[in-house]
Amino acid sequence: MQLHYLTAHQLHDMLVSKKISAEEITRSVFDRIEQVEEKIRAYVTLTKEQAVSCARLVDKARMEGEALPPLAGIPVAVKDNMCTKGVRTTCASKILYNYIPPYNATVMEHLNEARAVMVGKTNMDEFAMGSSCENSALFTTCNPWDTNRVPGGSSGGSAAAVAAGEAILALGSDTGGSIRQPASFCGVVGMKPTYGAVSRYGLVAYASSLDQIGPFARDVTDCALLLNVICGHDPLDSTSAPYDVPDYTSFLTGDIKGVKIGVPREYMGEGIDPAVREVIKKAIDIFTGLGAVLEETTLPHTEYALPAYYLIAPAEASSNLARYDGVRYGYRAEDAGDLVDMFVKTRSEGFGPEVKRRIMLGTYALSAGYYDAYYNKALKVRTLIKADFDRAFEQFDLLLGPTAPVTAFKRGEKVNDPLQMYMVDICTLAVNLAGIPAISIPAGMVDNLPVGLQLMGRPFGEGDILRAAYAFEQNTDHHRKLPE
């Protein structure tokens, strides 16, 4: 039996009924890693010894009659920008190559309490800056559906690990679409929760007002189970929201009769691959057949999301990455003549080209004389984009569109054209600027490559999104397709 391709809820049932052990699940995943990792390259660091030890503790607890939480003994991969005590956290950057955190991110504490098993740390675009996982300073991850293509970014390692059976679940972070876009390219479920719903304590910051940790899963039920574990208020994170976290599995009823779903015309027009658009139109027909009410709507400031994002995110990044100077963390350049020379050499040698590009963009946007013309104007545009969503959600329960305008592109195809690369996130950026939740679920195939459907909801409306996503999933088989 290929345990590595089962869902967490299937494995939990088998574990509780004593058909399998947690150690068997963990070893099955590591066997799969040994089989395919050489060509996929999803992981920066593997933690096999620690994982097997954790699995044995779960088995011991089961034998002693303890009730197991839903994710007990379930192998989870973690993006390499979340601090893991005693396990190196590189952010796929030379500047943090040997950094071993002395503490856990809050999400890791939640996973430990749930008795999930960490498999390892996954590859990513350096400091989460990228849309293809080609900006990693370590190596490039490949898409399990076609290893000549990218898995998406920046959480490409986490998405590829779940799609290839190298993990049952995974955590990623989403600043401008970095969970949903790779989920779309790799044919798995990926969700960006509401800003503040999941603690960012211990997440290495890229753009603090946009970053959000979220789950990757093989189906919507597993996504809900992982959300149950990671959501909640955290006093260690001043941006964490104090709210009552519902049981997200309670929304998985399959009934969406009367649910009003808006389809923004900006998400279905120019720039969207016609084949991708056709897949989304078929999905609309399925929702209509299930009793949902779908109508076209508009988010008129969508075209400004890309420029606003690429002013706000680099501005915040230029501030957040100022701490990497060779004094406090990681890499330090050798043969520096004085302190300033050491700063300059460390940052020049430690950061990759995309990180340098965004630091320079951000520093320019925040500089005296240009602040009002660029950064301040971008913040005003962000307010208009948020107002677009607020107006839409007065009329609709959810919004629907493609997750990405294209399917996974070939490795190296866009790497020399940053603007073309930035356009790949055109359908996801506005959600981060507005701080609302959104999910990507498998919706079909084009030329044997997955297409993702995006559902967006009101702030803290994750349950409504999961309800609709689950109903769609129960009436299709796209989530069951596996790469060869």
The secondary element (H helix, E strand) that includes residue 257 is none
207: DSSP letter: S
End-to-end CA, the chain: 16
Sign of CA dihedral 352, 360, 149, 466: positive
The answer for residues whose C-beta is within 8 angstroms of residue 412's C-beta and 6 or more apart is 134
Residues 103, 87: Cα–Cα separation, whole Å:
10
How many C-beta neighbours within 10 Å does residue 282 have?
14
Is 184 one of the annotated active-site residues of the chain? no
Q: Which of 28, 79, 155, 414 is catalytic?
A: 79
**Sheet architecture: strand order including 293-297:** 43-46, 117-122, 75-79, 169-173, 213-217, 189-192, 438-446, 449-457, 398-402, 260-264, 293-297
Residue 140: CA count within 13 A, CB half-sphere: 17
d(CA 466, CA 304): 28
Q: Which two tokens stand for residue 367?
A: 């500089």
Active site residue 28: no
- 3-state per-residue secondary structure call for 23-92: HHHHHHHHHHHHHHHHHHCCEEEECHHHHHHHHHHHHHHHHCCCCCCCCCCCEEEEECCECECCECCCCC
Cβ-based neighbours of 451, under 8 Å, separated by 6 or more: 184, 276, 279, 280, 402, 403, 407, 442, 443, 444, 445
**Could you give the CA distance from residue 332 to residue 311 in angstroms, rounded to a whole number?**
29
Would you give the distance in Å from CA 83 to the centre of its chain?
16
Q: Cβ atoms within 10 A of the Cβ of 247, count?
A: 12
Going by their DSSP bridges, the two strands 449-457 and 438-446 should be labelled as antiparallel
Q: Are strands 43-46 and 117-122 parallel, antiparallel or unpaired?
A: antiparallel
Confirm if 398 and 456 have CB atoms less than 8 A apart. yes
- Residue 179: phi and psi, rounded to 5, are -100, -50
Residue 79 appears among annotated catalytic residues: yes
Which tokens belong to 392?
């839409």
Pick the catalytic residue: 131, 132, 155, 178? 178
Compute and round to an integer the Cα radius of gyration of the chain.
Answer: 21
Cβ-contact 429, 437 below 8 angstroms: no
Taking the C-alpha atoms of residue 107 and residue 25, their distance in angstroms, rounded to an integer, is 22
| The one catalytic residue among 21, 28, 136, 154 | 154
Residues designated catalytic: 79, 154, 178
